[in-house]
Structure 1
Amino acid sequence: MKIDKTLPLEYSTQQNQLNILGFWIFLGAEIMLFGTLFAGYFVLYNRVGNGPTGAEIFELAPVLFETFILLTSSFTIGLGIHAMRHENKKAMITFFMITLLLGLAFISFEVAEFAHYIHIGAGLQTSAFTAILLTTLGTHGGHVTFGVFWGFLIVLQVIKRGLTPQTANKAFIFSLYWHFLDVVWIFIFSFIYLKGMV
């Protein structure tokens, strides 16, 4: 395996470069998935039937807190990649763990939010609006949950094997995934919550 030491560790082999390109292609498919969910939401958001509207169930304070948590995690994952590029294994692991703990906090808030919606009668079968809302939020939350488990596995590999072209490549690809989830959340916050509150 030929390593190009003029490139960052995550790009240092041809296989690593192909892995990153392949993951960008995968993210293109993920964009289509969430694009479809947003399109469904925009068609169905006012189909509330006898159920509640967004203005009746959305609360700004918890959503702002969720947004702050997730955007902060995007910053810390960036610091983790920066530390990785400077071959600072301890700092990289620390920032990755902070990111994953923030991810767990976000998931706990989202689970509480879902429980609240169901408690007030805004379940999957209440209306077309609540069905597409919970499907969109649940899909994003499922991705974050998967990301937390994936990130922990990468941290364990870095602890065990150190910073190698392979572990750096995996960590960088994970950071792309995490940033993607943050971008999706910005759209959810802007076009579902804020739009739904008016």
Structure 2
Amino acid sequence: MSAPAHQADSHWPHEPEKATLDGRNKVIGFWLFLGGEAVLFGTLFATFLALRDQIGDGPAASELFQLPMIAAVTAILLVSSLTSVFAVQALHRNDIKSLITWLIVTVGLGFCFLGFEIYEFVEYVHEGHTFTTSAFSTSFYTLVGFHGAHVAFGVVWISILIGQLFKKGLNLVTAPKVYVSAIYWHFIDVVWVFIFTVVYLMGKVG
């Protein structure tokens, strides 16, 4: 199935996501939503920092984390952030083929990230680090798992948008949807950078 051909339009706005009142409202509303998400993640980070030394009889972070693998996972998510930038650039050029291509790549990288995270959790459980092992483990799984759930939601959301682009094409209705999905993807990438630093790097060095 191929994407519908989109007529070259010399009047295609430079920022199509903000070309209509509805589009501008979507963008503003989404930024407000992300503000609430930032507060929520901030609370989870604060809880983790308060509980990270309460390991009970379970393994410590320095005994669990494998930084090379986590660094590779981080690289995957950072590259996906770059591909979402390319998708927005294609959106602004009214280039639906490139837009869909970069969105598909972004989704693929998101699936890779989720696969690594599931593998990581399974390994930790095998090593005796379960959700209820200690206060540290509970806060760890809550924070990292909550972020993983956001990645999974983003993958599903972008996949649905790809389907809409195939069906409806690129227009001033679909453009804001693509744009806010890219904002969301950047947000979860930034959150992961903080997780990598606060949870994994600080945990490994003690």
Identity %, equivalent residues: 42
What is the one-letter code of the residue matched to 1:82?
Answer: Q
Query: Cα deviation per residue 1:130-179 (whole Å; 9 max; x = unaligned)?
Result: 11001101000000001100000001111111111111100000000000
Higher relative contact order (CA 8 A, sep 6+): 2
TM, length-normalised to structure 2: 0.93
Does 2:43 match 1:36? yes
Instruction: Confirm whether residue 160 of structure 1 aligns to residue 156 of structure 2.
Output: no
CA distance in 1, matches of 2:95, 2:131: 46
Match for 1:197: what amino acid? K
Write out aligned runs for 1:4-23 (5 A). Answer: 6-23=13-30
Among candidates 92, 108, 114, match of residue 115 of structure 2: 108
Could you give the per-residue CA deviations for residues 100-153 of structure 1, whole angstroms, max 9, x where no partner exists?
000000000000000011110100110000110011010000000011000000
Per-residue deviation at 1:7?
A: 4.8
What secondary structure sits across from 1:105 in the alignment?
Answer: helix
CA distance in 1, matches of 2:73, 2:50: 25
Offset, 1:5: 5.7
Aligned to 1:172: 179
Instruction: Show the counterpart of 1:52.
Output: 59
1:24 partner letter = W
Name the counterpart of 1:194.
Answer: 201
Structure 1 match to 2:150: 143
After TM superposition, which residue ranges in structure 1, 4 or more long, deviate above 6 angstroms?
Answer: none
Structure 1 CA distance, aligned partners of 2:56 and 2:66?
Answer: 21
Conserved? CA contact 2:54–2:136, under 8 Å: yes
- Deviation at residue 6 of structure 1 after TM alignment: 4.9
Determine the C-alpha separation between the residues in 1 that align with 2:62 and 2:191: 21
Residues 5, 12 of structure 1: 8 Å contact kept: no
User: Structure 1: any 5+ residue segments left out of the alignment?
Assistant: none
Q: Which residue of 1 aligns with 2:7?
A: none
Tell me how many residue pairs correspond in the alignment. 195
Task: State the distance in 2 between where 1:72 and 1:7 align.
Answer: 25
SS in 1 for 2:139: helix
